[in-house]
Amino acid sequence: MSKSKLLQREQGFAMLEALVSILIVTAFVLGSAQALVIAAAFKVKANQYSKVTTWIQENIEEARFETKINQLQPVVDDPNTSVNEELQACGQDSTSASNNGYAKLLKDRLLSVNDSIYLTQENTTFYALSSTSSRPNPNPDFGGKNIWLLRNATPSTNPPFNLLKLNYIAVRDDNGYPGNSSSDIIANFSTEVLPRAALKCP
């Protein structure tokens, strides 16, 4: 083989190696860039979830604080009734129901909700929590994104009607209203609260 042909072959191999190297480096750079984008997206979601969890926890603590107040007094519609109001609230009277037990009394004391702004998910209707000076709703403290926090408070339907089930859902804003898509959901949480007054039930 002549020296010129050998030189041409070596130059061809060198060019091929350079192209392969460029392709490998390009693929690595693109892969790294994509990983950075995904990591940034996960970081934003984690930050939102953390803030939402704190928001929900604040509301749950408010509910638990209300259970410590001894002002949860049984209330009946008819002041002249002969019903024993305490037994009724304790779920130990024939007239006891989910709308007059201690769970209902606690529900009425909780932070009010905005009945005109609601979201239905899996046959459960959630209502937006009313805004406060410290917690506007929707809350813009999410990297410029508005987030809604909604709650469903449901008194137990089983005697003694003293457990209040709290369901929360946090969703992204959609043109001034809670987003209704499953992709808008950031977090959801459920818990049950027992009013302290119910512990005094006979």
Give residue 195's pLDDT band: very low, low, confident or very high (50, 70, 90). confident
Specify the DSSP element, H or E, that contains 177: strand 177-178
- The pLDDT, as a whole number, for residue 77 is 43
Structure tokens at 194: 């027992």
- The identity of residue 58, as a single letter, is E
Classify 122 as helix, strand or coil: coil
Look over the chain and give the mean of its residue pLDDT values, rounded to a whole number.
76
**Angle subtended at Cα 97 by Cα 92 and Cα 98, rounded to the nearest 5 degrees:** 120
pTM of the model: 0.70
Question: CB neighbours (10 Å) of residue 96?
Answer: 18
pLDDT in tens, 175-189: 888 998 888 888 889
pLDDT of residue 78: 47
Alpha-helix runs per DSSP H in the chain: 3-68, 85-89, 102-109
- Mean pLDDT (whole number) for 40-46: 66
Query: How do residues 100-154 score in pLDDT, each as one tens digit?
Result: 778 888 888 776 778 788 888 888 899 998 887 778 888 887 767 888 999 999 9
C-alpha to C-alpha distances, 51 to 101, 137, 147, 174, nearest whole angstrom: 33, 13, 10, 19
User: What is the spatial distance between Cα 54 and Cα 65, in angstroms, rounded to a whole number?
Assistant: 16
Q: Give the three-class secondary structure for 110.
A: coil
Question: What pLDDT does 76 receive?
Answer: 42
Percent of the chain with pLDDT over 70: 71
Decide if 118 contacts 106 (C-beta within 8 A).
no
pLDDT at position 6 is 47
Strands 147-155 and 164-174: antiparallel
